[in-house]
Amino acid sequence: MTNVYFPETTNDVSEIIGDNIISGQKVEVRTNGSLINLGQKMATDSILSLKKFDQITSYEPEELVITLGPGVKLSELVNMLAKYNQELRFEPPDYGPLFGNQKDMGSIGGIIGCNLSGPKRFLGGGARDFILGVEGVSGYGKTFKSGGKVVKNVTGYDISKLMAGSYGTLGALTEFTLKLSPIPEAEISFLVHGLNDKQAIQLMSRIAMSPIETSGLAHLPMNIAKTISQGSATTILRLEGASVSIKERSDAILKLINKYSFSLRETEESKFIWSVICNVAPTHPPADKPLWKICVPATYAPDLINHHKPDFYYFDWAGGLIWMASDEIPKIENGAYWLIRTPEGDPSIYPFTNIKDAATNMIMTKVKKAFDPKNILNPRRLGG
């Protein structure tokens, strides 16, 4: 039976890791565990759950900064911030349902640990861009902190960024400080119907290159678009901001799309569409194929799809992000991929992610060693 630890203090975490350093046993670091199937499969001897670090340590709305534990539930955090008219601008997704879990089970720890960002990422940055500071315990069993609690700070190495997307392989984080943003006054989305991939990428690029600030640019081919509209491939453009500004920018968007068939979705309908794009789950990617998240230059996206010809795919981040279900490993030269969900059966033939070359792999191994010399924290979680 696997031991499960639920430490309540940083000191507890330090002792548990210390014990495992001596015994040489491997530890799975997690918070709530809704993303536990994300990442390379691991063999571990025990589980270190950080779910009891579930307090908001400090929140001063006028500073747009919050300090909290990894176990704070994302849904509760989002609701609490909304009361103060604030949000996490990187639009954290909920991938729980993709793995067969209930929705709203995830915690902020998983979002930061896996550096997961939603559709707004192409505009204002990803989870890693909003982390101001971290505290945690390394694989040395020692506590460490980096960054701070102010928005502008370049004191020392930016270990906070390194922690984002490290999948718990570098330390058990017990506290984060995040930068917040005001919720825009209003939002609307334009749905452009019937474009093929290439036309959609061209339109999204054209808009992204213009001063009309959009906070979402995605394209769903016909079979996926069924979830949100009817009958045809759909390109979705989101505007957010002050109402006066939305009106002016809408006029500018209309000039670019009036030759196509299009429709408009306001407030709640717009939010629903973007939650579908953000969380992938309601688009029902096939469970019998690997589901890939791929980052490439947007102009390369149509070629990639042309090469693999997958049944399930769509574009987000103005074409810079592709979701694709395919038995083939994504063929990319310039970009990154992650295997988000493995097919049923033996997934071991697929790598979790791509590391560029041996030299990069070597330096990443050294970075891992600088935090976890005995390789006990989430060993091989990131592959390699």
Partner 1 sequence: MKMPKPEQSILDQLPELTKRLTSLLGQEGIVTSEYGLKAFESDGLTAYRQSPMIVALPNTTSQVSEILKICNELNIKVVARGAGTSLSGGALPLADGLTLGLSRLNRILEIDYVNRCAVVECGVTNLGITDAVCEKGFYYAPDPSSQIACTIGGNVAENSGGVHCLKYGLTTNNILGIKLVLLSGEILEIGGKYQQESGYDLLGLLTGSEGLLGIITEVTVQILPKPETARAMLIGFSDVENAGACVSKTIAAGIIPAGMEMMDNIAINAAEDFCHPGYPRRAAAILIAEFDGVASEVDYFIDRVSNIAKELNATSIAVSNTEQERDGFWAGRKAAFPAVGRISPDYYCMDGSIPRRKLPEILQKMNDLSEHYGLKVANVFHAGDGNLHPLILYDANKPGELENAEEFGAEILKLCVEMGGALTGEHGVGVEKRDLMHEMFTEADLNQQERLKCAFDPNHRLNPGKMFPALHRCAELGKIHVHGGKLLFPDIPRF
Instruction: For the segment 324-363, give every residue that binds partner 1 (CB under 8 A).
Output: 334-338, 353-357, 359-360, 363
Binding residue for partner 1, selected from 8, 100, 242, 331, defined by CB under 8 A: 242
Q: How far is 368 from 354, CA to CA, in rounded Å?
A: 17
Helix (H) or strand (E) holding 244: helix 243-257
Give the interface segment with partner 1, choosing from 178-186, 225-233, 303-311, 340-348 (CB under 8 A): 178-186
Q: How far is 239 from 184, CA to CA, in rounded Å?
A: 10
Query: How remote is the C-alpha of 93 from its chain's centroid?
Result: 6
Q: How far is 380 from 191, CA to CA, in rounded Å?
A: 42
Residue 52 binding partner 1, by CB under 8 A: no
Give the interface segment with partner 1, choosing from 30-38, 90-98, 125-133, 186-194 (CB under 8 A): 125-133
Half-sphere exposure of 205 toward its Cβ, with a 13 Å CA cutoff?
A: 14
The minimum distance between CB 265 and partner 1, in angstroms, equals: 21
375 Rama sector, left if φ>0, alpha if ψ -120 to 50, beta otherwise: left
Residue with smaller CB distance to partner 1, 23 or 263: 23
Radius of gyration of the chain (CA): 21
The minimum distance between CB 223 and partner 1, in angstroms, equals: 25
Residue 121 binding partner 1, by CB under 8 A: yes
Q: How far is 60 from 64, CA to CA, in rounded Å?
A: 7
Q: Is 356 helix (H, G, I), strand (E, B) or coil?
A: coil
Give the interface segment with partner 1, choosing from 75-83, 187-195, 243-251, 304-312 (CB under 8 A): 243-251
Contacts of 173 (CB under 8 A, 6+ apart): 50, 70, 109, 112, 113, 134, 135, 136, 163
Site for partner 1 in 180-239 (CB under 8 A): 181-183, 205, 208-213
Asked if 150 and 65 touch (Cβ cutoff 8 Å), the reply is yes
Residue with smaller CB distance to partner 1, 247 or 307: 247
The minimum distance between CB 231 and partner 1, in angstroms, equals: 29
Residue with smaller CB distance to partner 1, 228 or 304: 304
Give the interface segment with partner 1, choosing from 151-159, 254-262, 266-274, 304-312 (CB under 8 A): 151-159
Give the interface segment with partner 1, choosing from 100-108, 162-170, 219-227, 268-276 (CB under 8 A): 162-170
Size of the site for partner 1 (CB under 8 A): 105
The minimum distance between CB 21 and partner 1, in angstroms, equals: 5
Residue 16 binding partner 1, by CB under 8 A: yes
Asked if 173 and 70 touch (Cβ cutoff 8 Å), the reply is yes
Site for partner 1 in 280-299 (CB under 8 A): 295-299
Q: How far is 242 from 171, CA to CA, in rounded Å?
A: 41
Residue 27 binding partner 1, by CB under 8 A: no
Which residue type occupies 351?
A: P
